[in-house]
């Protein structure tokens, strides 16, 4: 058996010492290495498998890290990490205290720009290229962006700017016709035509119209062709654009055939490629599925309901709505700003839009929430999936800021269900008709209720509830973190001392309930899975200050720092909002 090349490759300079004829073998070994590790450690698979040859070619042709390489999102950067000094620790990928699943500047000098959200690469690389001009440095600047990401408005803003500069910028379009779900929109159809009818398109090329030197499409799995074209482009000044076609999941049969499932497949058999069987026990549903199945139920009763998502049909489970009501389901691609204002436009005409966006991605549409929805007081229903700590995707993906960034906006209603039944009921309540926009936030992962598909009941807006009576200490929680509180109280010796209230609404607060709590209890503990700065606890402190209460108030939540990656349980322990940490805090207050 021949000696493996990859075991001698630690940095890109080692790749550049190889003969071109050796590179296909390196690609084969790199692909196998990624499969072997991700099979047991989990992570994003398909995207990285699809760009193995492109990754090798980039580090072979360009003098990284002096030449600056920016990856878009970073789902596809596993091969890059392995070739840039992290091969021996790649098994720690996305684990607590291990390497990040995305490029991260403080992890390696080869990670020139930190990413987690899409469509940022062209802007960042252009900024670097202009900086090099100012400093009179001779460097290459390369942005690798996918066909789903390039359809985003931010990417077009950057292309528009770059086209009127003479910056030394190379944009590489990794075109595999899929993001997480299949790519959508007119640009996707245009790119498809470019691949199939090159001669017809040459006279009407949108990229060339933006003053880029366009080349392609070329086969992204042909190393000889890639290296030849990259070497040619390296000598051309000004903005360049290389269109590369690849297959997501390349080299693993199942990942090529089911690109959605194998984007991040969980654990699988590294030899067969088959997903490992799930436990056969009956489990509570995922919150995303509660949303997805409930909106279908409601849409069957109310023909004005529509579902909108920015490129997260599968992740949000809006695919159920698409299957049942395709004409009332809208995947707008990676375009959060458009999704929000599209929903606002629909709301002006009496349509009831459920705009489903991951909490962390809604940050990208903040002006639209304020300017297009809240200022006009339009009853858009925002369903914020992946709220709170999300685990191994890390700092860019934790949905911990939503309570703080939404709470300050006039007209917003903010609700956090503590279980699946409450999520169903608030969705039902919202579509009955509200006078204001509402944000409903719920976490990643499974709920706690097996019998969750219960008859709908309307929820009174701004009404909290008492979960447990007590005598000395009041714990106020919001959302699904109530489960940790209940477990914590069970661990406390003097359980009778502890009352537990679920406020449910961060805005409007249940002031009647709060007055009774502040008048009854000297010690109050607030708990949330959002940032302590400006969040639920801050709202309680403001209430106390406004009404001149002098109670002792302790606020628990996500501290004022970016939380890295790890399991949700590990990160809750780190933030001291797990059940054991909460019980210790309660015991300390009792003492």
Catalytic positions are 248, 336, 364
Contact (Cβ atoms closer than 8 angstroms) between residue 182 and residue 319: no
Gyration radius of the chain's alpha carbons? 26
Q: Could you give the 3-state DSSP secondary structure of residue 538?
A: helix
Pairwise CA distance, residues 229 & 223, whole Å? 10
Token readout for 203 is: 């006279």
Number of CB atoms found within 10 A of residue 209's CB = 10
Rounded Cα distance between 61 and 23, Å, is 12
**Structure tokens belonging to residue 126:** 């252009």
DSSP state letter for 275: B
d(CA 66, CA 88): 23
| Distance from C-alpha of 267 to C-alpha of 456, rounded to nearest angstrom | 37
Cα separation, 304 vs 356, whole angstroms? 16
User: Contact at 8 Å (CB) between 87 and 44?
Assistant: no
Q: Which residue's entry shows tokens 């590369």?
A: 244
Beta-bridge partners for 219? 245
Structure tokens belonging to residue 72: 């878009």
Terminal C-alpha separation, the chain: 68
* Alpha-carbon span 275 to 261, nearest angstrom: 10
Q: Pick from 388, 385, 343, 571: which is nearest to 478 by CA?
A: 388
* The pair of three-digit structure tokens given for residue 382, joined into one six-digit string: 């925002």
Q: Scanning the structure block, which residue is given the tokens 């700590």?
A: 389
Within 10 angstroms of residue 495's Cβ, the number of other Cβ atoms is 12
H or E element: which one contains 61? helix 52-61
Cα separation, 46 vs 383, whole angstroms: 28
Q: Where are the alpha helices (DSSP H) in 270-407?
A: 287-301, 313-316, 319-324, 336-348, 359-362, 366-368, 402-407
């Amino acid at each position: 058996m021949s000696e493996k090349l990859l075991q001698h490759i630690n940095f890109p300079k080692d790749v550049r010492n190889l003969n071109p004829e050796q590179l296909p073998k390196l690609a084969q070994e790199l692909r196998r290495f990624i499969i072997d590790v991700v099979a047991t450690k989990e992570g994003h698979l398909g995207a990285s498998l699809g760009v193995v040859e492109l990754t090798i070619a980039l580090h072979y042709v360009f003098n990284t890290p002096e030449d600056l390489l920016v990856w878009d999102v970073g789902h596809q950067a596993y091969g890059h990490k392995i070739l840039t000094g992290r091969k021996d620790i790649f098994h720690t990928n996305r684990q607590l205290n291990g390497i990040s699943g995305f490029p991260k500047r403080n992890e390696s000098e080869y990670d020139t720009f930190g990413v987690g959200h899409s469509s940022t690469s062209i802007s960042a690389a252009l900024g670097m290229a202009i900086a090099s001009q100012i400093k009179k440095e001779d460097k290459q600047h390369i942005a690798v962006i996918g066909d789903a990401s390039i359809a985003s408005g931010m990417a077009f803003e950057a292309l528009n700017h770059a086209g009127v500069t003479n910056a030394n910028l190379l944009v590489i379009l990794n075109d595999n016709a899929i993001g997480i779900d299949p790519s959508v929109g007119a640009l996707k159809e245009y790119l498809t035509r470019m691949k199939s009818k090159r001669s017809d398109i040459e006279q009407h090329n949108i990229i060339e119209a933006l003053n880029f030197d366009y080349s392609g499409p070329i086969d992204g799995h042909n190393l000889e062709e890639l290296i030849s074209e990259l070497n040619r482009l390296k000598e051309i000044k000004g903005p360049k654009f290389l269109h590369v076609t690849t297959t997501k999941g390349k080299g693993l049969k199942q990942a090529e055939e089911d690109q959605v499932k194998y984007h991040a497949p969980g654990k699988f058999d590294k030899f067969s490629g088959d997903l490992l069987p799930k436990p056969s026990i009956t489990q509570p549903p995922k919150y995303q599925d509660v949303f997805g199945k409930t909106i279908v139920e409601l849409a069957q009763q109310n023909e004005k309901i529509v579902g909108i998502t920015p490129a997260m049909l599968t992740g949000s489970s809006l695919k159920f709505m698409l299957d049942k009501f395709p004409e009332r389901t809208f995947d707008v691609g990676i375009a959060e700003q458009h999704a929000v204002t599209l929903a606002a436009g629909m709301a002006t005409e009496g349509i009831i839009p459920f705009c489903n966006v991951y909490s962390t991605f809604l940050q990208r549409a903040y002006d639209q929430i304020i300017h297009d929805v809240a200022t006009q007081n339009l009853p858009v229903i925002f369903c914020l999936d992946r709220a709170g700590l999300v685990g191994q995707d890390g700092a860019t993906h934790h949905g911990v800021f939503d309570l703080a960034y939404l709470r300050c906006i006039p007209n917003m209603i903010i609700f956090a269900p503590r279980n699946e039944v409450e999520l169903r009921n608030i969705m039902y309540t919202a579509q009955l008709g509200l006078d204001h926009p509402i944000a409903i936030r719920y976490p990643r992962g499974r709920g706690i209720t097996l019998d969750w598909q219960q008859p709908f009941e309307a929820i009174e807006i701004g009404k909290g509830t008492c979960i447990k009576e007590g005598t000395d200490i009041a714990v106020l929680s919001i959302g699904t973190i109530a489960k940790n509180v209940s477990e914590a109280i069970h661990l406390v010796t003097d359980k009778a001392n502890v009352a537990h209230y679920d406020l449910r609404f961060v805005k409007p607060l249940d002031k009647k309930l709060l007055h009774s709590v502040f008048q009854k209890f000297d010690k109050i503990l607030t708990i949330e899975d959002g940032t302590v700065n400006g969040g639920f606890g801050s709202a309680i402190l403001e209430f106390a200050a406004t009404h001149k209460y002098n109670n002792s108030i302790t606020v628990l939540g996500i501290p004022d720092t970016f939380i890295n990656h790890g399991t949700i349980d590990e990160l809750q322990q780190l933030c001291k909002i797990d059940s054991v940490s909460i019980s210790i805090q309660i015991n300390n207050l009792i003492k």
